[in-house]
Amino acid sequence: MEVDGHSLTIDDVLKIARSKPGDIPVSISQESIERVKKSRQVIDEALGSNQIVYGVTTGFGANAEKTIPVNEVRLLQRYLIVSHSTGVGDPVSPETSRATMLIRLNSLARGFSGVRPVVLQTLVDMLNKGVTPIIPSKGSVGASGDLAQLSHMALTFTKDPRPEIQNREKILLRKLIDGETLSEGERKEVLQLGGEVYLWNDGKWERMPAILGMHIAGVERIVLEAKEGLALNNGTAFTSAVSIFAIDLARKILDAAILSAAMSFEAIGGFESAFNEQVMELRGHRGQVEVARKLKSIIERSELIRAEEKVQNSNNIRREFGHVQDAYSLRCIPQVYGPVLETLELAEKWLIEEINGVTDNPIILPDVSYTNRVFSAGNFHAEYPGMAMDFLRIAFAEVGNMAERRIFRLLDKRLNRGLPAFLALEPGLMNGLMLAQYTAASLVSENKILSHPSVVDSIPTSASREDHVSMAPNAAFKTLELLENVVRIVAIEFLVAHRGLKFRSGTPGKITREVIKILDKFTNKELEDHVLSHEIEEITDLIKSGKLSNLS
């Protein structure tokens, strides 16, 4: 895959992140290399003329007024990376780390960051050879970029410019190569020099010191020149990477949630008139129309639903159910899942723009006609991905909320239109799926807490120079956590609807029949009480695999 700074997609990121290193070779377009060289020339000229440029010949953040001599600019970049490597918590997965590297590479490939081509090539070599930085999950406030996490990334492939420290690194590396046992002090030195990496070896990831992993892979660690540390650790690549995995899971959940909703609709014998195409179009929302169309395609030719003409012409239906319309959790699926669909599309749009954007600071504009070609701005502020994740979390909390109401309705004998209480084979002696709803209720309640937006919770940093931050990484991680709950709620809806349909006579819709065949492999064919946890988790994994996507 050729990286050009402009055309990276969400699916590209997922493919590279999840592929075996080298299976999909990454390269940089020649056009990008030329742009990168052009912007680097601006930095070299600024150094040659002793210009004062933020982050090049000055300190950082609240220390920006401090001028740095040209002979110390390399050390300035080294100190930036090591001092900002303050991440804590469990490391993210190798897949998330690889996604972060690819997104950062793509941003640098735009050619507005002032780095040398060797910086980009080093990232390419690491991706292709399976050297993946170990990045702690916590510590970014999402403005000035993901400083902590991106510093941990940069630490692995950059080295101190001072000869005496480079010599010490060589001594420690030789001990590691020879398999010598390091003292506790030496072990800490090694981590200070480069942190740790995962190295792809014999079909699995092995954790080791970065200086050893890079050596084994044959990728040379580099000394950063002026501006390069700042170009690496300013930016939203880490937040964007986590957000992309959230979007991928959200896509699968929404496809599955429409299917499980349709199955519940059939199991309870819903009134199809609620999804009338002309009525949907009168509202004017594309997402609502699309969800209603999918629902109708799933329940098409079902013998279990109440068709419009039957509702209008039959007193039997009125006598049987006492009304001719459903509860909102059935009748309003398009009106709720429609905005969820459009929110997901908005989040995808913003993330695609973000991963193809220039998100560091300062920005180099090599082609402008005026003297100043280095601009200090705020493209590192992660409000776009942060809001995208906050919106997505609110939307998918609603998916869980509504699914749980249908689960409840199918289990309550007063509401489920003739089905046994809790869908038990022998209610009273057996409890059926009673407790499955408890689990869904617990997850829904937790999601209400997780739905609180992160971007409104700013805390100033850097002596208030950075007085408004996005907290976007928190938003992204909370979104993944909430989606893990929602996918299980949807799995429970599948479990309950699947059981409910077993008690109905009549043929379900064609697509529903396909889903039933799939679920039959993961559910106990006997209706007597049994342990349900493993079935919920197996259906959860089925949803995550995407095998319940695009059936409609």
Q: Is residue 438 within 8 Å of residue 525, measured between CB atoms?
A: no
Q: What residues contact 204, with CB distance under 8 A and at least 6 apart?
A: none
CA pair distance 373, 291, nearest whole angstrom = 49
Helix (H) or strand (E) holding 155: helix 147-157
Closest by CA position to 239, among listed 104, 423, 366: 104
450 φ, ψ (degrees, to nearest 5): -65, -20
Q: What is the pLDDT along the chain (552 residues), one digit of tens a residue?
A: 999 999 999 999 999 999 999 999 999 999 999 999 999 999 999 888 888 888 888 888 778 788 888 899 999 999 999 999 999 999 999 999 999 999 999 999 999 999 999 999 999 999 999 999 999 999 999 998 899 999 999 999 999 999 999 999 999 999 999 999 999 999 999 999 999 999 999 999 999 999 999 999 999 999 999 999 999 999 999 999 999 999 999 999 999 999 999 999 999 999 999 999 999 999 999 999 999 999 999 999 999 997 655 555 555 555 455 556 899 999 999 999 999 999 999 999 999 999 999 999 999 999 887 778 888 899 999 999 999 999 999 999 999 999 999 999 999 999 999 999 999 999 999 999 999 999 999 999 999 999 999 999 988 888 888 888 999 999 999 999 999 999 999 999 999 999 999 999 999 999 999 999 999 999 988 899 999 999 999 999 999 999 998 776
Domain boundaries, the chain: 2-235, 240-544
**DSSP characters for 216-261?**
HHT---EE--TTHHHHHHSSSHHHHHHHHHHHHHHHHHHHHHHHHH
pLDDT at site 315: 57
Structural tokens at position 378: 């705020």
pLDDT at site 452: 95
Let me know if the fold of 2-235 is the same as that of 240-544.
no
Neighbours of 163 (CB within 10 A): 8
Domain 240-544 has CATH 1.20.200.10: yes
Which pTM value belongs to this model? 0.95
Pick the CATH number of 2-235 from 1.10.275.10, 1.10.10.970, 1.10.150.670, 3.30.300.130: 1.10.275.10
Catalytic residues: 54
Neighbours of 302 (CB within 10 A): 22
pLDDT at site 438: 98
Pairing assessment for the beta strands 363-364 and 374-375 based on DSSP bridges: antiparallel
**DSSP characters for 360-385?**
SSSEE-TT-SSS--EE---TT--HHH
